[in-house]
């Protein structure tokens, strides 16, 4: 049975970076097969993992809409799209990735979410671990892009704005009845001290901090791959310890 980690958080907190490092750590630990899901229409997870995304769900929908005659005879449009999307899963060195992307056609976004959910339901049994990098903010939760997850991992910085956004995410998860085994909080780019009282009452289990890391900052600035990050990186080492808490419900 697969183990799903869904990441959420305010924009600019380093959510995609944490997602990419988790994919790397799970792969390097030899824990099992990994599917990285870039469910953010900005589609930066592939770049962080050092790969060129060849096809996105959004682009597939645009192609089928523009060329409906390409749907094979005897196939419904929905079945053909699901087939194309499943074929768009890219096999990389030690992990696979599927990318949502942004459709150009008007009114397509909800349909992209529906297709992603449908395909995910079929893919979950094929992988030991699934890491989902969700869209920043609350919209993906409101649209129920994430319906179930073993762990909802909220990434925040230590600012008041970031922590308030984390609390709103936790409240919305409960309001929508999204099923999880745990709702956890990581503070990213921790450069100093933070009063513990600020972490109380957020509705999330604080599990650790990832320090401000010049190596990560440099890689992000240059748009390079996080596979190039040194194993002694303070950020990577911190997340490796936190990973034990993220995966503790794995059976």
Q: What is the pLDDT of residues 97-119, one digit of tens each?
A: 999 887 665 555 566 667 667 77
What backbone phi and psi angles, to 5 degrees, belong to 33? Answer: -70, 150
Contact 41, 58 (CB under 8 A): yes
Q: What is the pLDDT of residues 134-148, one digit of tens each?
A: 887 555 444 444 557
Q: Where are the domains of the chain?
A: 3-246
Distance of CA 62 to the CA centre of its chain: 23
Residue whose C-alpha is closest to residue 57's, from 98, 17, 3, 25: 98
What CATH topology corresponds to 3-246? Rossmann fold (3.40.50)
Contact 14, 155 (CB under 8 A): yes
Q: What is the pLDDT of residues 30-82, one digit of tens each?
A: 999 999 999 887 888 999 999 999 988 888 888 888 888 888 999 988 888 88
pTM of the model: 0.89
């Amino acid at each position: 049975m697969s183990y799903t980690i869904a990441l959420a958080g305010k924009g600019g907190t380093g959510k995609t970076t944490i997602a990419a490092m988790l994919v790397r750590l799970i792969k390097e630990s030899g824990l099992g097969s990994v599917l990285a899901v870039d469910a953010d229409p900005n589609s930066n997870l592939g770049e962080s993992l050092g790969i060129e995304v060849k096809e996105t769900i959004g682009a597939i929908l645009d192609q089928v809409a523009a060329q409906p005659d390409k749907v094979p005879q005897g196939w419904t449009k929905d079945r053909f799209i699901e087939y194309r999307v499943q074929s768009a899963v890219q096999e990389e060195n030690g992990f696979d990735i599927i990318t949502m992307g942004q459709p150009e056609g008007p009114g397509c976004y909800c349909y992209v979410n529906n297709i992603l959910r449908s395909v995910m339901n079929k893919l979950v049994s094929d992988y030991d671990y699934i890491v989902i990098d969700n869209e920043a903010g609350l919209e993906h939760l409101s649209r129920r892009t994430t319906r179930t997850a073993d762990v909802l991992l909220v990434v925040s910085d230590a600012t008041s704005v970031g922590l308030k956004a984390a609390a709103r995410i936790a409240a919305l998860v409960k309001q929508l009845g999204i099923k999880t085994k745990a709702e956890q909080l990581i503070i990213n780019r921790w450069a100093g001290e933070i009063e513990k009282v600020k972490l109380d009452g957020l509705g999330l289990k604080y599990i650790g901090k990832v320090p401000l890391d010049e190596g990560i900052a440099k890689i992000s600035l240059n748009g390079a791959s996080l596979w190039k990050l040194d194993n002694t990186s303070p950020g990577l080492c911190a997340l490796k310890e936190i990973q034990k808490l993220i995966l503790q419900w794995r059976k």
